Amino acid sequence: MIYFIEAQLELNKLREQMLINTREVINVLNKRKELSQSIGKLKSILGIDVRDYQREREVLNNLEFDDVTSRAIVNLLFELSIQSQRPLISSIKWKELRVLGKEFNILTGSSDFVLIMAGLIASKPGGVVYTLNPLPNMLELGLILGGSHIINSEAESSAIRIYYNKKILHDNAFIFDDPKGSYFGVPADSLKFFGKMDVAII
């Protein structure tokens, strides 16, 4: 019993330290985002492309990595910086299509490409994705890289609905996943809300 109490106290202590560490990381990331946005504005004035491979190499050459996880985190930081400088939705070449009398923006391509892009576009950094069904790995990857947390729960009423592989079309966003060619459709009048609201994948 004594060992159990001691273990519980130690667990609570470590969790508190983890919370403090998480707050510090968030503060640093917020500052980094501000710097990235300022850099993006200057790149636009100077006509420099958002993706600057030479600069990335310089950064990597000035860092030391203990393991592959550290390198993976730096790669993720690169991508977060790029998205801060160039919003993902505005950089995509959408196709326009009328479905059920409603204008949709459609993204097409291979299954992996569409699922990852759908996840990235649907993600709200720091937001939640509700689902009661297992999601394809590539869709999960896109959602996670976009900064969302996936939970197994009924959706709140305010969440944007995305219908995955449903036979009946809805006037909400949808994903049709097929090895021969996949589609991600978003109502034109709803696109502005993606990345700003929580999502439910049904």
The structural domains of the chain, with segments of one domain joined by +, span 2-86, 90-201
Pick the CATH number of 2-86 from 1.20.1600.10, 3.30.70.100, 1.10.357.140, 1.20.59.10: 1.20.59.10
Cross-strand pairs, 151: 130
Between helix 137-145 and helix 111-122 the angle, nearest 10°, is 30
* pLDDT mean over 82-102: 73
| pTM given for the model | 0.62
Cα separation of 175 and 179, whole Å? 13
Average confidence (pLDDT) over 165-170: 72
Is residue 112 pLDDT above 70, yes or no? Answer: yes
- Residue 125: closest CA among 43, 195, 184, 200: 195
